[in-house]
Structure 1
Amino acid sequence: MSQSLITQELGIIIAAKNHKPTILNPDFLKYSGIVPSEWEMARQPVYTQSVSQVAFTNGVAIIAEPTRVIFIEAIESKTAAEIAVADIAKKYVQTLPNVEYEAVGINPRGYIAFAEQLDAARLFLSETLLSPGAWQEVGNAPVRASLNLVYNLERSPLYLSINEAGLRNPDETNTPIVLFSGSFSYEVKSENPSERQNNVYQILDNWQADLEAYQEIITSKFIGKTHEEKVVIPNVFAMSTAV
């Protein structure tokens, strides 16, 4: 198989108490120095009591909710030096030091595409990553599978969800893909606001190491496997879904 991983998106989720979604707006972001003043809006912001959302033309979006703030950046065509989302998240935390930050998730998402065969994405999951068996022979259509895995890494757990999906093309056709959604989960362990901030900073400063670990695991452990070199995942139906 000659597929390669395309890292599509990097998301950062910061869980927080006492956070007000209504604070998020373009003026607040620019006047506080969280985002550069020259950044242009991609569409009209969304404002409600429970959620606010701001999106920019460079692929960065920020979503504020009462219990978390989500920072997302489309990174498919960007170098590491061009990726801004972690720095934006860090400046946001610096601007709001009295919010009680509880946890941080570093969430890369990427995919491998199967343009040459419409059923190849399904087969990759059901025949390459899983062992064949009677469990695949139920019903009147080929079984479709998804996997939820947990890796206990040195810095944090990595929750990895693997799903079949479709990528919409400009000509309105779909390219089958296998989507790899990762989440490195970190707990913020301090009651002191200053120490809590510094803890969040340390986590955010390691975003590139997490992204590289995600890419290395998928590239070396999943891509390049053939139907003869199966990765057997035991007790797949007993696994709980990671949130």
Structure 2
Amino acid sequence: MSQNLITQEFGIIIAAKNHNPAILNPDFLKYSGIVPQEWELVQQPISTQNLSQLAFTNGIMIVAEPTRVIFIEAIEQKAIKEITVAEIAKKYVQTLPNIQYEGVGLNPRGYISFEQQSAASQYLVKTLLSGGDWQSLGTAPMRATLNLVYTLERCPFYLTVSEAALRNPDESNIPIVLFNGSFSYEVKSETPLQRVTNLHQIIDNWQTDLSNYQEIINTKFLADLAAQKTVISDHLILNSDTSIAA
């Protein structure tokens, strides 16, 4: 059982009006300098009328939709200096400055693991929730997902806490509790240049938000768990052969 927060990925979601998903393709990204020429795809691109998706072998995935573009990087085996998703998002915005960008979410995701699913459930229903008869309704133990909203000085912080499982290569599962966070920023601007400048300023704050997310989870949610060990370092480690199944 790991009572440490393992930070698995970091995402940047940019809300935009009338964004054309067809823009997203490997040639556009490479010839415009958004990603290096040597980057390789892990699978064939996905392209439909309302969605385009590119996944690279280095753990970065980009998804384009009519109302947003999503940049996600798996950071489990990377040092802070090796994380590049923020620079990719900034280059994308700078290359397409005339899109009406409206907001940005800086979204870290992490988890803690347990030896048994019941222990993960108990953490949610007993550690984070007050007991009562309302928990005993039904023929099976209640399962819970918490959606929390915090008003921070610089922006709202949204946090979803839920049960899930890590699926190992041998198809066995490790019970976990997920902590999905989102620091939500509004883009305030009147011109394309101002929008790009504002977006870059927000995205440049990603390391601070990642560190604050880890501190919030470790000090506010995990402080009472046994064998607490803080994992806020330059190296964020997770077995790359595992995947999360909700």
TM-score by length of 2: 0.89
Matched residue type, 1:98: N
Matched residue type, 1:132: G
Q: How many residues align?
A: 226
1:32 is aligned to 2:32: yes
1:151 aligned partner:
150
Q: Secondary structure at the match of 1:139?
A: coil
1:104 aligned partner:
104
Q: Which consecutive segments of 4 or more residues in structure 1 shift more than 4 A?
A: none
Alpha carbons of 1:56 and 1:225: their partners in 2 closer, same or farther (altered >3 Å)? same
Q: Does structure 1 retain, via aligned residues, the 8 Å contact 2:108–2:213? A: yes
2:82 aligned partner:
82
2:47 aligned partner:
47
2:141 aligned partner:
142
Deviation for aligned residue 1:77: 1.1
Instruction: Quote the Cα distance in structure 1 between the aligned partners of 2:225 and 2:20.
Output: 50
Matched residue type, 2:141: P
1:133 is aligned to 2:146: no
Deviation for aligned residue 1:224: 3.2
Q: Secondary structure at the match of 1:119?
A: helix
1:219 aligned partner:
218
CA RMSD of the aligned region, Å? 1.3
Q: Secondary structure at the match of 2:77?
A: coil
1:15-30 correspondence to structure 2 within 5 Å = 15-30=15-30
Instruction: Quote the Cα distance in structure 1 between the aligned partners of 2:139 and 2:222.
Output: 30
Structure 2 residues without counterparts, runs of 5 or longer: 227-246
Instruction: Quote the Cα distance in structure 2 between the aligned partners of 1:198 and 1:32.
Output: 19
TM-score by length of 1: 0.90
Q: Does structure 1 retain, via aligned residues, the 8 Å contact 2:108–2:180? A: yes
Deviation for aligned residue 1:117: 2.5
Identical-pair percentage: 69
Structure 1 residues without counterparts, runs of 5 or longer: 228-243
Greater RCO structure (CA 8 Å; 6+ sep): 2
Instruction: Quote the Cα distance in structure 2 between the aligned partners of 1:5 and 1:58.
Output: 23
